[in-house]
Structures are given as structure tokens and as C-alpha cells.
């Protein structure tokens, strides 16, 4: 009885006090947005505008550049470097598929079967990131070195005969071939595939597996009809996080490849830093960006995960 009569008073005084903070609170989201927006404007929007104007300039280093709306630079860049674009998409695509094939079972294992080993395996996935990207890629140079144990083993198993026939390797070399570049890309971007996959798999209620089993689905069917569809957000974000940076990468092609495996990233890098042809470099960058945007849009539409991502 006593609690009943005592309950209302504490509510009454707090109610009017609540009103003023709520009014001030209306601006809070905008204040919270401010640092991020500033960052985006200074480091993303402004450089984009600057590069866009560079791409339509003409002139020379000595006389300076002027905006002349010279869109022909785009056409020239595309007609000269289309093989590099194609190669970038091919290599990045292959690496993405390899990452998915390698990463999915591992992410599945961590999410559902690892038990108390879960954290340890997660650390092992991330651990290589404690060393620099460059050193890790250089390590692959040693791993794939001519006459090294890996090449020797592949050779004696006649794997290299097959890959040479497919055009992925040349003779008994792995280094300086497309295979080496794709291996490097796969290795470097694998964690970007595993982490989103793990996150989306881990979110799946395991009772759904039980429910599927209860409704006559064999384990394989349960995977096909329940687990995989529910992990689609992870598959989509994982493939995007792998494909987009891989398509623009130049380090792997530089260190593990040859002049025959140059990707568009290598071209942009050399245009900017060696040839110093800024308009062409900027145009190349914009073409790459546009190509990726188109592909990603089509991909997200096709995978039907707009509402899931």
C-alpha cells in the first residue's frame, strides 16, 4: 500500500526538467556529424574536385597547366591502357573469388565450431597485420622464389605444367607471373573477407539450424537454404572490401609481377610519380573509380541484398 502512494511523486518533478535538454538535444546529431563531415570535405571532396579539374587540364610542367576542358585525355587514357584495366579487374576478381573460397570455411569454423578457440583463431587471422604490408608482400617473393621449396613441390606435382598451359605461370617460374600477383592480392586482402563474413555468420541464430534440421533439411541443405542466404550481407561486404582495394592495388603487381602483369594502379603510380603527366593520371583514376562504381552497383542489385547491407 505504502509503495503505491509513494510511487508517483518522484515522477512528477523529473517530467518538467526533461523538456529543456530535449530541445537542446535536437542539434546534438549535427554536432556529432561535424568532425566527420569536415574530415570528408578536407580529405575527400576537395581532393576529388582538385583531381577532376586536373584531369581536364592541358599544358606542361614548365609552362604550367590550365583548365581547357580537354576531355580527350579520358579517351586517350582508356584506349592506351585498357589492357591494364582489364587485367586489374581480372586479377582483383580472381583474388576476390579465392578469398571467398578460402575465407568462408574459416569464418564458418570460427563462428560455429571454434568454441573456446574462437578468440585465438581471430587473433591469428589479424596477426599478420602487425607487420607492414610491404614486408608481408616481400615475404611472398621469398616463398615463391625460383627453385624454392614451393616452386619445387609444385613442379614435381606437375601443377606448374597445368598453370603454364592456362597462362597463369611461365615455364617453371611462379614469380613474375599472374599467379604470383593473384596470390599476393589474395593473401593481403583475405582478412577483409573473413571479418565481415564472420560477423554476419556469427549473428545467425543457431536455432535456425535446428529448425531447418527439424524440418527435414539435411546439413548441406540447411547450409544452402538457411546459412548461406543469411550470410549474404557478409559475402557482399567482404567481396566489396576485397575487390575495390585489390582493383586499385599496385604493390603486389610491382613486387611479385613483371611488366606483363602491370595493373592500372601501376600505371597511375608511374604517371603521377615518374612521368609526371598529371592530367592522364587523374583521368585514369576517375575511369577506375567510375568502372568500380558501376560494377558495385550492378553487383549489389543482382545479389538482392540492398535491404540487408
- Exposure string for 81-90, b = 16+ CB within 10 A, e = fewer: beebbebbbe
> CB-wise, 24 or 207, nearer to another protein?
207
**Residue 156: its H or E element:** helix 149-156
Distance (Å, rounded) from C-alpha 61 to C-alpha 52? 18
Task: Report which DSSP code applies to 170.
Answer: B
Counting contacts by CB under 8 A, is residue 45 touching another protein? no
> CB-wise, 66 or 224, nearer to another protein?
224
SS3 132: coil
Q: Show the site string, 220-239: x = touches another protein by CB under 8 A, - = not.
A: -x---xx--xx---------
**Nearest distance from residue 212's CB to another protein, in Å?**
7
Count residues contacting another protein (CB under 8 A)? 17
Counting contacts by CB under 8 A, is residue 210 touching another protein? yes
Locate 270 and state its grid cell. Answer: 608511374
What residues between 149 and 208 interact with another protein by CB under 8 A?
205, 207-208
User: Phi, psi at residue 23, to the nearest 5°?
Assistant: -65, -45
Counting contacts by CB under 8 A, is residue 309 touching another protein? no
| Interacting residue with another protein among 17, 62, 214, 306 (CB under 8 A) | 214
Distance (Å, rounded) from C-alpha 77 to C-alpha 267? 10
Counting contacts by CB under 8 A, is residue 216 touching another protein? yes
Counting contacts by CB under 8 A, is residue 212 touching another protein? yes
Counting contacts by CB under 8 A, is residue 215 touching another protein? yes
End-to-end CA distance of the chain: 52
Residue holding cell 615518374? Answer: 274
The residues of the shown chain that bind another protein, judged by CB under 8 A, are: 205, 207-208, 210-218, 221, 225-226, 229-230
Amino acid at each position: 500500500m505504502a509503495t503505491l502512494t509513494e510511487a508517483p511523486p518522484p515522477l512528477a518533478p523529473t517530467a518538467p526538467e526533461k523538456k529543456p535538454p530535449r530541445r537542446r538535444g535536437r542539434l546534438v546529431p549535427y554536432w556529432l556529424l561535424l568532425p566527420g563531415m569536415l574530415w570528408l570535405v578536407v580529405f575527400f571532396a576537395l581532393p576529388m574536385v582538385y583531381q577532376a579539374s586536373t584531369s581536364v587540364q592541358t599544358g606542361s610542367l614548365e609552362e604550367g597547366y590550365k583548365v581547357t576542358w580537354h576531355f580527350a585525355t579520358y579517351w586517350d587514357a582508356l584506349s592506351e591502357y585498357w589492357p591494364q584495366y582489364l587485367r586489374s579487374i581480372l586479377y582483383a576478381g580472381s583474388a576476390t573469388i579465392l578469398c571467398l573460397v578460402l575465407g568462408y570455411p574459416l569464418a564458418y569454423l570460427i563462428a560455429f565450431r571454434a568454441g573456446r578457440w574462437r578468440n585465438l583463431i581471430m587473433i591469428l587471422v589479424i596477426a599478420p597485420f602487425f607487420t607492414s604490408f610491404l614486408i608481408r608482400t616481400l615475404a611472398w617473393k621469398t616463398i615463391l622464389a625460383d627453385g624454392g621449396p614451393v616452386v619445387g613441390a609444385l613442379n614435381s606435382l606437375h601443377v606448374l605444367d597445368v598453370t603454364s598451359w592456362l597462362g597463369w605461370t611461365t615455364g617453371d617460374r611462379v614469380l613474375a607471373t599472374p599467379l604470383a600477383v593473384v596470390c599476393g592480392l589474395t593473401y593481403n586482402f583475405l582478412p577483409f573477407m573473413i571479418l565481415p563474413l564472420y560477423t554476419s555468420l556469427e549473428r545467425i541464430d543457431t536455432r535456425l539450424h535446428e529448425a531447418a534440421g527439424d524440418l527435414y533439411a539435411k546439413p548441406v541443405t540447411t547450409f544452402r537454404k538457411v546459412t548461406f542466404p543469411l550470410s549474404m550481407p557478409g559475402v557482399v561486404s567482404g567481396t566489396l572490401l576485397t575487390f575495390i582495394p585489390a582493383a586499385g592495388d599496385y604493390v603486389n603487381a610491382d613486387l611479385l609481377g613483371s611488366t606483363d602483369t602491370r595493373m592500372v594502379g601501376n600505371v597511375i603510380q608511374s604517371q603521377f610519380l615518374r612521368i609526371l603527366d598529371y592530367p592522364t593520371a587523374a583521368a585514369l583514376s576517375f575511369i577506375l573509380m567510375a568502372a568500380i562504381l558501376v560494377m558495385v552497383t550492378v553487383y549489389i542489385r543482382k545479389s538482392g541484398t540492398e535491404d540487408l547491407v
